[in-house]
Amino acid sequence: MIANTPATPYYAVIFSNMRTEIEEGYAETSIEMVSLAEAQEGYLGQESVRDGLGITISYWANLDAIRKWKQQTDHLLAQRMGREKWYSAYKTRICLVERDYGFPF
């Protein structure tokens, strides 16, 4: 589903990753992280796809909200598990969205 983001400007965090073959705990943690992110102040939505390469884009009101999410206790644990078990490679990019448009909304 395409996230229904507010008027610009806002921020996008792009998390690109390659998975290992380890599945243990991944699906449950992924669901939990979405739920926790949705509860964070400043969270605006997300989009996620996986076809070999996984890409999740989360949208945030400001940089402070992104910093707080990065430091959220359960998210820190998930990050550690990702590095140790679930991802063979990843890259995170933080971008200011200055303009957006689409069809239909």
Q: Domain ranges for the chain, please list them.
A: 22-97
The whole-number pLDDT of residue 104 equals 80
Question: What is the architecture, at CATH level 2, of domain 22-97?
Answer: 2-Layer Sandwich (3.30)
Q: Which long-range contacts (CB under 8 A, 24 or more apart) does 83-89 make?
A: 85/20, 85/22, 85/24, 85/25, 85/26, 86/19, 86/20, 86/22, 86/26, 87/17, 87/18, 87/19, 87/20, 88/18, 88/19, 88/20, 89/17, 89/18
* pLDDT score recorded for residue 57: 98
Asked if residues 92 and 54 have their Cβ atoms less than 8 Å apart, the reply is no
Task: Judge contact between 65 and 59, C-beta under 8 A.
Answer: no
pLDDT under 70 in the chain at which residues?
A: 105
Q: What gap in Å lies between CA 12 and CA 4, rounded to an integer?
A: 13
pTM score: 0.93
